Amino acid sequence: MTTIINVANQKGGVGKTTTAVTLGHGLSLAGRRVLIVDLDPQGHVAFALGMKKTNGLYRLLVESEPLHKVAEEARPNLDIIACDKTGEAVGRHVTTQNYREKIVKKALKGATYDVIILDTPPSLGVLHVAALVASHWILIPTKLDAMAVDGVNEILRSMAEVEQGEDDPHKFEGYSILPTFFDRTTKETTIQLRELVNAFGKIVWPPIPQDTKAREAAAYGKTLWEYSPDSPSIVGYQFNGKRAGGYLDLLERIKEVIR
């Protein structure tokens, strides 16, 4: 069985791509067969993995090429469907199709991966809905600012619309909120984290700390497991001698979610 995880937030620069790539590579290192699909014309998934941006998404969704022909190997056990600026035309194409909401689900049907991760653009277009309809689990990275609760609520609204879809309602297996850019030294992010937990409770997972290593890793085309595997600050964030967040924590939680 394949578990499809959708990394979504219509707000830009909240750590979606970093999370998709770090999680995807982490799962592949743990022996899972993983595919990351880049639905964003910015093409940052390929970039972050040190690869070239290509028109993979266009070939998959517009030219209907089979998944196995379009997927590119990024690392052992880790493939990607890359995207580039042709991704903008994908959005326009999808709008004209009457099966538009199912287009991603159809394209991924029969895939033999254990996990498929969808990295989505910072917008709420038809592709966003198509990605939701294809997904089992929604992972919502959010920065810890005053708009965080509002931003999460907006995604929850579109999820509710998809679940109430008239002809073919879709049921998600679950969702979680991933606070990103956490900085324990500033009062603001700590207060916002508490607000998020007050609003959403246990579905708020332990935070990912802010760390320049995340930026550097992407610039070198390496994942955090390659660039900074032993970094307690971002990979396995420690507080009072215990792991209290970071990407190792996320990896463990996602392993419990996938089938």
Can you tell me which residue has the tokens 């802010």? 210
Q: Pick from 122, 125, 221, 236: which binds ligand ATP (CB under 6 A)? A: 122
Q: Is position 16 an interface residue for Mg ion (rule: CB under 5 A)?
A: yes
Shortest distance in whole angstroms from residue 10 CB to ligand ATP = 9
Q: Is position 16 an interface residue for ligand ATP (rule: CB under 6 A)?
A: yes
Name the phi and psi angles at 125, rounded to 5: -85, -170
Look up residue 144 and give its amino acid.
L
Look up residue 195 and give its amino acid.
E
Pick the piece of the chain touching Mg ion (CB under 5 A) from 11-19, 21-29, 126-134, 251-259.
Answer: 11-19
- By the 8 A CB rule, do 228 and 235 touch? yes
Of 189 and 210, nearer to ligand ATP (C-beta) is 210
Q: Is position 18 an interface residue for Mg ion (rule: CB under 5 A)?
A: no
What would the x/- binding string for ligand ATP be over residues 33 to 52, using CB under 6 A?
-------x-x-x--------
Residue nearest to Mg ion (CB): 17
- By the 8 A CB rule, do 30 and 251 touch? yes
Q: Which does 28 bind (CB under 5 to 8 A by kind): Mg ion, ligand ATP, none?
A: none
What would the x/- binding string for Mg ion be over residues 41 to 60, using CB under 5 A?
---x----------------
Stated length of the chain: 259
State the distance between the two ends of the chain, measured CA to CA, in whole angstroms.
7
Shortest distance in whole angstroms from residue 16 CB to Mg ion = 5
Shortest distance in whole angstroms from residue 69 CB to ligand ATP = 26
Q: Is position 215 an interface residue for ligand ATP (rule: CB under 6 A)?
A: yes
Shortest distance in whole angstroms from residue 150 CB to Mg ion = 20
Q: Is position 232 an interface residue for ligand ATP (rule: CB under 6 A)?
A: no
Instruction: For the segment 143-202, give every residue that binds ligand ATP (CB under 6 A).
Output: 180-181
Instruction: For the segment 234-253, give every residue that binds ligand ATP (CB under 6 A).
Output: 234
Q: Pick from 38, 84, 114, 211: which binds ligand ATP (CB under 6 A)? A: 211
Q: Which residues bind Mg ion (CB under 5 A)?
A: 16-17, 44
Binding site for ligand ATP (CB under 6 A): 12-18, 40, 42, 44, 122, 180-181, 208, 210-211, 214-215, 218, 234
